[in-house]
Amino acid sequence: MREAVRPTSPYEQYVASLREAGLDQTALGREWLDAGRRALQEPLAVTLPFREAGFLPPQEARAVAYRVELRRGQRLMVDIQLETAEPTRLFVDAFELAVDEAPQRVAYAEGGASSLSVDPPRDGAYLVRLQPEMLRGGRYEIVQRVTASLAFPIEGFDSRAVASGFGAPRDNGIRDHHGIDIFAPRGTPVLSASDGWVSGVQTTPRGGHVVWVWDPSTRRSLYYAHLDGQDVTAGQRVSTGDRLGRVGNTGNARGTAPHLHFGIYARGEGPVDPFPFVHQPRSAPRPVTANLEPLGTWRRTTSARLRLRSESATTGAILMELPRHTVVRVEGATADWYRVGLPDGTRGFVIARGTQALETPIRRHQLDVTTRVRQRPGSTSTPIADLEPDVRVPVLGQYDEHLLIRTPGGREGWVPLQ
């Protein structure tokens, strides 16, 4: 009989423990599992680098997922700080999105870790999901940024020195360029971009003086060509930053300005574009300037047509325009934007200065008939009070033909707009 496959990630282990205890059949357990699935189905699209302060209410089953676009060779770095009243496990998982397939987990934070790194196997969309264990939560800050997964291979230079890219035509279009050319003065040290083993030190008609380094952790060969000199021997162990040789123009680069031809070859695949592996993007996200006190609270819009956008930028797609006094819940803050949820569950970003607190009523409303006050807008929500006719109640906001009011007893709830 085959041994059962045990779950590997902390999230999967936690789900298995819920099932073993029968908690997945309880209302609380089902809500928690549904929250995790729903977050993957309704991720928030963000542009890297990205910083957000958010809130996950302990009394609710909540999760949040961020969708980012990554290129192979980049490394996604995720750092999280969680503030909670009680010790809390926060599950952090990264998934690859594929067309017509369920998201596939590609990385996760080990138990208790506050950081995660992801080396995407392919160009495409990826998700980062945060979810605390049941009945736990609090305020958190997440920073997501991309870095180069390899060190730059020329001392004192960066990707601004790249002048000829991958795939450029060579020999009148007979072949493609299988690497990038990095220009630097003759004799500038060429450094190993990764740990590995020197698998070849050669002199060839095309590459001139070349060095090959095999990186066993990624099963890729790194190719350094047109060197003026070679400073390693075959079989030698090298670490990132060790000198392999010096910039030159040997081989078929003779007569051109000194430069390094740098290539990456994946086993079973062939050449891949090295640029994302060594390009260091802007890594400092904008600071959060929006007021953080409203995190987790309900507010109302102050503009007549406040735009709810898909991203925290004026270039984000407009999901809808919110009428003045629309009630929104602040779930996160990034730069000068709030990530908000509407009473019906719709989510997006609004400019923070376009909202205000609910304490001061906008007007008073006369109830002409006996009215049931509910927890949420709509006739199926949980009732919390019944009010007699001719009662005047303060109105705090509105949404979809419903008013958020404060009852004479001090409770807040929703009534139909009569």
- Average pLDDT of every residue of the chain: 93
3-class SS of residue 40: helix
Q: How far apart are CA 242 and CA 193, in angstroms?
A: 8
Buried b (16+ CB within 10 A) or exposed e, 131-157: bbbbebbbbbbbbbbbebbbebbbeeb
> Which tokens hold the place of 198?
């020197």
> Each residue of 231-290: pLDDT tens digit?
999 999 999 999 999 999 999 999 999 999 999 999 888 899 999 999 999 778 999 999
Domain(s) of CATH 2.60.120.380: residues in the chain: 10-148
- What pLDDT was estimated at residue 172? 62
Asked if residue 260 lies in contact with residue 154, where contact means CB atoms within 8 angstroms, the answer is: yes
Q: What is the dihedral of CA 72, 73, 79, 80, to 10 degrees?
A: 10
**DSSP for 96-164?**
E--TTS--EEEEEPPTT--EEEE--SSSEEEEEEEEEPTT--EEEEEEEEEEESS--SBTT--GGGEEE
Q: Which CATH number fits domain 10-148: 3.40.1360.10, 2.60.120.380, 3.30.700.30, 3.90.550.10?
A: 2.60.120.380
Mean per-residue pLDDT, 91-115:
90
pLDDT reported for residue 164? 79
Predicted confidence band of residue 1 (pLDDT cuts 50, 70, 90): very low
Question: H or E stretch including 211?
Answer: strand 208-215
Rounded Cα gap, residues 88 and 283, in angstroms: 29
With cut-offs at 50, 70 and 90, classify the pLDDT of residue 11: very high
Confidence tier at 418 by pLDDT (50, 70, 90) = confident
- The pLDDT of residue 283 is 73
What are the tens digits of pLDDT across the range 141-186? 999 999 999 999 999 999 999 987 776 666 565 667 789 999 999 9
Spatial strand order in the sheet of 391-399:
363-367, 391-399, 402-406, 412-416, 371-374, 383-387
CATH 2.30.30.40 placement within the chain: 298-356, 363-416
The superfamily CATH assigns to domain 363-416 is SH3 Domains (2.30.30.40)
* pLDDT for 197 beyond 60: yes
State the Cα–Cα distance between residues 16 and 24, nearest whole angstrom.
Answer: 9
**Which amino acid appears at position 169 of this protein?**
P
Query: Where does CATH 2.70.70.10 sit in the chain?
Result: 166-272
344 pLDDT more than 70: yes
What does the pLDDT read at residue 248?
97
Residue 11 DSSP label: H
- CA–CA dist 49, 352 (Å, integer): 20
Question: Would you call the peptide bond into 49 cis, given omega within 30 degrees of 0 as the criterion?
Answer: yes
pLDDT at 2 (0 to 100): 36
User: What mean pLDDT do residues 113-123 have?
Assistant: 92
Euclidean distance between CA atoms 345 and 250, whole angstroms: 63
Span 82-103, average pLDDT: 92
Spelled out in words, what is the top-level CATH class assigned to the domain 298-356?
A: mainly beta
In degrees and rounded to multiples of 5, residue 268 shows phi and psi of: 80, 5
Is there a contact between 232 and 244 (Cβ–Cβ < 8 Å)? yes
Indicate the range of 1-15, 214-228, 387-401, 402-416 predicted with least confidence. 1-15
* 166-272 placed in CATH 2.70.70.10: yes
Please say whether the beta carbons of 131 and 91 come within 8 A.
yes
pLDDT tens track for 278-323:
999 977 899 999 999 999 999 999 999 999 999 998 889 999 999 9
Give phi and psi for 32, each to the nearest 5: -65, -45
Which tokens go with 418?
């009569």
Q: Provide the 10 A C-beta neighbour count for residue 88.
A: 17
Q: What pTM value is reported for the model?
A: 0.90
Per-residue CA distances from 222 to 9, 71, 239, 250 (Å):
32, 18, 13, 18
184 closest CA partner among 258, 263, 280:
258
For residues 369, 370, 371, 372, the Cα torsion angle rounded to the nearest 10 degrees is: -160
H or E segment at 37? helix 27-41
pLDDT for residue 34 is more than 50: yes
State how far the Cα of 67 lies from the Cα of 40, in Å rounded to an integer: 9
pLDDT for 4 = 43
> Partners of 253 in the beta sheet?
none
